[in-house]
Structure 1
């Protein structure tokens, strides 16, 4: 669902731009100005969505994650956290063994 959220929000810009087009055309009497304002509305919505949905943050492991990953993240159970900790320790032990098994020149 979170992957589709920007598309849904961008689709909401369609009726907004139509209303904006009609209001600007009625106020200014120029179709060109109204068209430019509707296109500008799309661009503003696009850049705001890109700014919000493409922002990157770092998680505990230093990997880049989307700002929405934290918003829609499910709480991890204690078993999942313990399993991740065990896997992390196994990787550390394997790296330590690999460094000990290297022949010294």
Structure 2
């Protein structure tokens, strides 16, 4: 049986791949100040895609690697859907992966 951590790891890796495929991966890290934002999704300091990459993926990957408790009832997909509306790239697969991650954590 696949553990929650293995499933989470696979989804996080797929989200990273899809961010890169959609050319939404940023090679430049946000500033320390931007990363210190206390606003949900850091919407006041960075694009949502940067939050996904530098905060969500970084923190979740670390939690999964260390098998730390994972948050329950996450709902990132609605925010992602809203944030991706102005984008011209196809984000269907990315949204599907984010929704899968949300669903995975609802089943903990």
TM above 0.5, yes or no, is no
Q: Which has the larger radius of gyration?
A: 1
Determine which structure has greater relative contact order: mean sequence separation of CA pairs < 8 Å that are 6+ residues apart, divided by chain length: 2
TM-score computed with the length of structure 2 as normaliser: 0.27
